[in-house]
């Protein structure tokens, strides 16, 4: 029990350090302003919330994965690339923290920051509730799906950030990887694959898509398979991240 408590304390220490670092620079303010501005733009202007005549947040959540495609890598690119560039990663691994502590603590801080941005979009929910009577259960499930997708993208981005000292390269790699996770769930891609392969192949490809599982939760049902998908991506990304850091540490 003492070992578990000590491990949790170490992760909590890293978490507090990393989360504070976001708000100690203009990064947090700039990111949050851009995220909220684009959220409103996609929801009201491009998504046509008022023109649809329906009291729901579907326009917001449908555009959110594509918004994450560029904004989440902006968070994850600095997780390890900056540490490697400045040389502080060598200091971190000599402190009384395990590599797993560092990976989990930094990831949780980035995820918490992303979740803060998502929660700050709540005025959109209040606006829809004022205009009509939305299905609040669907909205809650959609927010959970958004947080899970942000966590999955961050886990992938953190893993790729550990591969390079250049934040721009880390950003591009994360965008490409997350884009691939999204497009395999597009109907056009599935139809194309189904045109030259067995249906089982197209279905398997769709089941690997973050967009497929995200859209499934948007219907208002938290299916265990969808939750397990995002959880698996997060755990797999963190495991690869720890292996890469351990490998770099041994170099």
String of DSSP letters for 150-165: HHHHHHHHHHHHTT-S
Average pLDDT over residues 113-117: 94
Q: ∠211-151-74 over CA atoms, to 5°?
A: 95
Whether pLDDT at 3 is above 60? no
Average pLDDT over residues 120-149: 89
Note whether 121 and 143 are within 8 A (CB). no
Which residues are within 8 A (CB) of 91 and not within 5 positions of it... i.e. 6 or more apart? Answer: none
Note whether 114 and 28 are within 8 A (CB). no
Task: Report which DSSP code applies to 54.
Answer: -
Tell me what percent of the residues of the chain surpass a pLDDT of 90.
31
Confidence at residue 1, expressed as pLDDT on a 0 to 100 scale = 44
In this structure, what token pair is assigned to residue 224? Answer: 């265990």
- Helix then strand then coil, % of the chain, to nearest 5: 80, 0, 20
Distance CA 18, CA 126 (A): 31
Q: How confident is the model at residue 50 (pLDDT cuts 50, 70, 90)?
A: low
pTM of the complete model? 0.87
Residue with the larger pLDDT of the pair 152 and 81 = 152
Query: What is the phi/psi pair of residue 208, to 5°?
Result: -90, -5
Other CB atoms within a 10 A radius of the CB of residue 133 amount to 9
Query: What is the phi/psi pair of residue 10, to 5°?
Result: -65, -45
Q: At what angle do helices 58-76 and 136-161 cross, to 10 degrees?
A: 20
Confidence at residue 55, expressed as pLDDT on a 0 to 100 scale = 67
Confidence at residue 78, expressed as pLDDT on a 0 to 100 scale = 81
Of 69, 78, 70, 66, the residue nearest 170 (C-alpha): 78
Predicted confidence (pLDDT) per residue in 178-236, tens digit: 999 888 877 777 777 667 677 677 677 777 889 889 988 988 888 899 999 999 999 99
Note whether 104 and 246 are within 8 A (CB). no
């Amino acid at each position: 029990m003492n070992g578990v408590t000590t491990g949790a304390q170490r992760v909590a220490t890293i978490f507090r350090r990393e989360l504070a670092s976001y708000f100690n620079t203009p990064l947090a303010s700039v990111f949050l302003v851009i995220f909220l501005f684009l959220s409103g733009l996609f929801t009201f202007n491009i998504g046509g919330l008022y023109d649809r005549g329906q009291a729901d947040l579907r326009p917001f959540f449908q555009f959110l994965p594509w918004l994450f495609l560029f904004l989440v890598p902006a968070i994850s690119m600095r997780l390890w690339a900056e540490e490697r560039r400045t040389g502080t990663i060598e200091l971190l691994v000599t402190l009384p923290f395990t590599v797993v502590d560092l990976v989990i603590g930094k990831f949780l801080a980035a995820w918490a920051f992303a979740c803060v941005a998502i929660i700050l979009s709540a005025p959109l929910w209040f606006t829809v509730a004022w205009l009509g009577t939305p299905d609040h259960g669907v909205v809650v499930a959609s927010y959970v799906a958004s947080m899970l997708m942000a966590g999955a993208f961050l886990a992938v981005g953190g893993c790729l950030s550990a591969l390079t000292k250049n934040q721009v390269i880390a950003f591009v790699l994360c965008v490409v990887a997350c884009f691939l996770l999204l497009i395999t769930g597009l109907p056009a891609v599935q139809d194309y694959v189904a045109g030259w392969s067995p249906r089982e192949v197209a279905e398997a490809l769709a089941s690997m898509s973050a967009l497929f599982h995200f859209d499934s939760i948007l219907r208002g049902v938290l299916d265990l398979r969808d939750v397990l998908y995002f959880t698996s991506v997060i755990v797999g990304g963190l495991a690869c991240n720890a292996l890469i850091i351990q490998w770099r540490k041994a170099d």
